[in-house]
Amino acid sequence: MIAKLKAMADEARAALAAAQTEHDVEAARVRFLGRKGELRELQQGIKDLPEEDRPEAGKLINRLRDELEALLESRQQELAAGGGGAAEALDVTLPGRIGRIAGRHPLMQVRQDMIDIFLGLGYQVAEGPEVENHHYAFEALNYPEDHPAMDEQMTFYLGHDVLLRSQTSTVQIRVMEQQDPPVRVVVPGRCFRRDTVDATHSHTFHQLEGLCVDEGITFADLKGTLLAFAQGMFGPDVRVRFRPDFFPFTEPSAEFAVSCYMCGGEGCRVCSQTGWLELGGSGMVDPNVLAGVGYDAERYTGFAFGVGIERFAMLRYGIEDMRLLYSGDMRMLSQF
């Protein structure tokens, strides 16, 4: 009896492994597990066994039935999946799953466009620490000892003489310490100010500053460079305007603005009817700053400027609330 069962089991396994169609599987089911199948036939032979062997044989038959049913089921599924085996259930002709492709954050797009313009003008890009000390943040930039920018109300202090930079000028100082003129460098980077967050202010923001130092650099070079920058960013038809301003590190100093790219200077909603968009500050590097890094301030002159990257991004993309730039909200970011 047991030998017969084993022989039947081997045959059934072989038949299933050889089955090539769902029809073959069904035929095997009828032959081995069907109402008049081989297993049923053997089961009926149990009653002819000696009394003490019957429970053992019954158990064996039940186990075999479970095994064969499971085998049938899995073979059936393999064939239904369209292949002769598990390996072939993979259809290599199906198109792959396409992952989501990331894009640059709008701030970083604008930053790169700015950098590209200056690369075209022969500038290099430098970056430096966000955590600074009094010397680089203020002293080297010709701030007087009692300047309010050093106040805890305006600058984040992490400890005694450890603070977060509020502009990237600290890096230009480091560049000048490292190399002699000519210097042509732009410095993009994150800056920090103790501002209350609203639609146009953020405690953490981004700047791009530029510095050019060489023999014979004049304010005309500053104007021509910032005109090229403005036209690169807003198109060939824009004009630039300079008005007197004050910074400790430049003399003379000037704020600069671009004629409104929207209305051409007529006055519209974008420029608040002024015809101009203020972009940043600029000026001729104060001789004290040049002398402070060891340059001969009689021989070399230079200009410098600084702009906020958020401002440009908001203008270009029509973003009216700066906080959206930091929200990480995909409904916002996926538009760029």
The residues binding ligand 2NL (CB under 6 A) are: 169, 172-173, 209, 211, 247, 249-250, 280-283, 285, 289, 304-308
For residues 72 and 163, which CB has a smaller minimum distance to ligand 2NL in the complex?
163
Q: Give the C-alpha separation, 207 to 190, whole Å.
A: 6
Residue 221 C-beta: closest distance to ligand 2NL, Å: 14
For residues 43 and 200, which CB has a smaller minimum distance to ligand 2NL in the complex?
200
Residue 287 C-beta: closest distance to ligand 2NL, Å: 11
Which one, of 104, 30, 95, 96, lies nearest residue 68 by Cα? Answer: 30
Query: How many CB atoms within 10 Å of residue 282?
Result: 27
For residues 9 and 185, which CB has a smaller minimum distance to ligand 2NL in the complex?
185
Residue 238 C-beta: closest distance to ligand 2NL, Å: 19
For residues 68 and 185, which CB has a smaller minimum distance to ligand 2NL in the complex?
185
Residue 90 C-beta: closest distance to ligand 2NL, Å: 57
Q: Any bridge partners for residue 255, and if so which?
A: 243, 281
For residues 32 and 312, which CB has a smaller minimum distance to ligand 2NL in the complex?
312
Q: Where are the beta strands (DSSP E) in 144-299?
A: 157-159, 162-164, 183-192, 204-215, 240-247, 250-259, 276-285
Residue closest to ligand 2NL, measured at CB:
306
3-class DSSP state of 8:
helix
- 224 touches 120 (CB < 8 A): no
Residue 187 C-beta: closest distance to ligand 2NL, Å: 9
For residues 16 and 226, which CB has a smaller minimum distance to ligand 2NL in the complex?
226
Which string of DSSP letters, residue by residue, matches 88-124? GGS-TTSPPPPPPPP---HHHHHHHHHHHHHHHTT-E
Q: Give the C-alpha separation, 90 to 92, whole Å.
A: 6
Residue 126 C-beta: closest distance to ligand 2NL, Å: 11
